[in-house]
Amino acid sequence: MCNLYSITTNQAAIAALFRVVNRYVGNLAPMPGVFPDCPAPVVRNSDAGSEMVLMRWGMPPPPRTGGPPVTNIRNTSSPHWRGWLKPENRCLVPANSFAEYAPEPNPETKKKTWCGSR
């Protein structure tokens, strides 16, 4: 996973590409910066077929560590992650672009947008 991504594709395009049956996201505005813990659209399976819903970006952290959602899972053999790796917990995260951490920020992209606020 990555720590920052964008989703600027319109809702109709996502629904057509992934054959979405139900949509529960309301009016989906372009999201040029989706940071951990921000709500964003995902496509998941349901009994009726594929559905598009808003979910928080990231996975719950292990109970002993607490803190913000985890976006990079490196040890998939850890007992904490085994349950989350089952097919019923999987979803598609539509994205137009993504970014990874860089030790030296680029001055042109240093400005951050948190959960759609400006």
82: in domain: yes
Position with higher pLDDT, 115 vs 54: 54
69: in domain: yes
Say what percent of the chain tops pLDDT 90. 27
pTM of the model: 0.75
Domain count, the chain: 1
Q: What is the CATH number of the domain that holds 89?
A: 3.90.1680.20
106: in domain: no
45: in domain: yes
3-state SS record for 36-95? CCCEEEEEEEECCEEEEEEEECCECCCCCCCCCCECCCCCCCCHHHHHHHCHHHCCECCC
pLDDT at 57 over 60: yes
* Residue-level pLDDT at 112: 52
| Domain range for 22 | 4-97
115: in domain: no
Single-letter amino acid code for the residue at 115: C
Position with higher pLDDT, 68 vs 27: 27
20: in domain: yes
Q: How confident is the model at residue 118 (pLDDT cuts 50, 70, 90)?
A: very low
32: in domain: yes
* Residue-level pLDDT at 92: 92
How is residue 25 written in tokens?
A: 């996201």
